[in-house]
A and B are shown apart, each in its own frame.
Chain A
Amino acid sequence: QQQVKQSPQSLIVQKGGISIINCAYENTAFDYFPWYQQFPGKGPALLIAIRPDVSEKKEGRFTISFNKSAKQFSLHIMDSQPGDSATYFCAASLVFGNEKLTFGTGTRLTIIP
């Protein structure tokens, strides 16, 4: 049972453009929604995370938009740069003390000059 669905599977964006990756979840008990960035040969690294009590969180060029009623959240990368080319995973986990991350299937983002 896939509890976190992620789209698109791959994405090509021109430098300076906006990259948008979407995720939808099923379990309303999820309490924490992080986005991870993974470069080839490396482990995933936390990019930005949100809790369900806010609808948006921004850190630099990265923004999470969260829609609790629709059970959806998305990552927006503004002014996309070639260095942003990586695989991005959304994830969700239950309340504190039960830190199993359920991951989306990943989006391979390529930023072209």
Chain B
Amino acid sequence: KAGVTQTPRYLIKTRGQQVTLSCSPISGHRSVSWYQQTPGQGLQFLFEYFSETQRNKGNFPGRFSGRQFSNSRSEMNVSTLELGDSALYLCASSLELAGDLEQFFGPGTRLTVL
């Protein structure tokens, strides 16, 4: 079974631009979560989608948004990029069955904002 895939793996953007990151969950997984990982702040929750609906949202500004498609694939968008948005963005999917809380992470997209 293929794991969580994220594209692109690396991105370089300049301040003020916007970026879209993509995540394909493990087949059959309906929940997709996004996390931001930085050396200073560690792993921070961005948002979670289930059945195309945002179910949870972390404490990030409105410049960070996401969506989920009917095939469970998810995208996140960051508008008006700032230097501080440079980070590893991780996507995780889970099966969403009673008692099964395991989240499987993708390799991440490394975003560098210049």
Contact = CB atoms under 8 A, between A and B. Distances in A.
> Which of B35, B42, B55, B107 has most A Cβ within 10 Å?
B42
B106 interface: yes
Contacts of B42: 89, 103-106
B106 A43 contact: yes
> Which of A44, A49, A96, A106 has most B Cβ within 10 Å?
A44
Question: Which interface class (under 10, 10 to 19, 20 to 34, 35 or more) fits B?
Answer: 20 to 34
B61 interface: no
A100 B33 contact: yes
Contact of A96 (B55, B101, B107, B108): B101
B2 interface: no
> Which of B43, B44, B45, B55 has most A Cβ within 10 Å?
B43
A100 B102 contact: no
A101 B103 contact: yes
A62 interface: no
Q: Name the prevailing secondary structure of the A interface residues.
A: loop
B105 A99 contact: no
B17 interface: no
A97 B101 CA distance: 9
Q: Name the prevailing secondary structure of the B interface residues.
A: strand
A45 interface: yes
A100 B48 contact: yes
Nearest to B43: A103
A44 B101 contact: no
Interface residues of A, number: 24
Contacts of B101: 32, 34, 49, 93, 96, 99
Nearest to A105: B42
Contacts of B94: 99
Contacts of A36: 105
Contacts of B102: 34, 46, 49
Interface in B28-86: 31, 33, 35, 42-45, 48, 55-56, 58
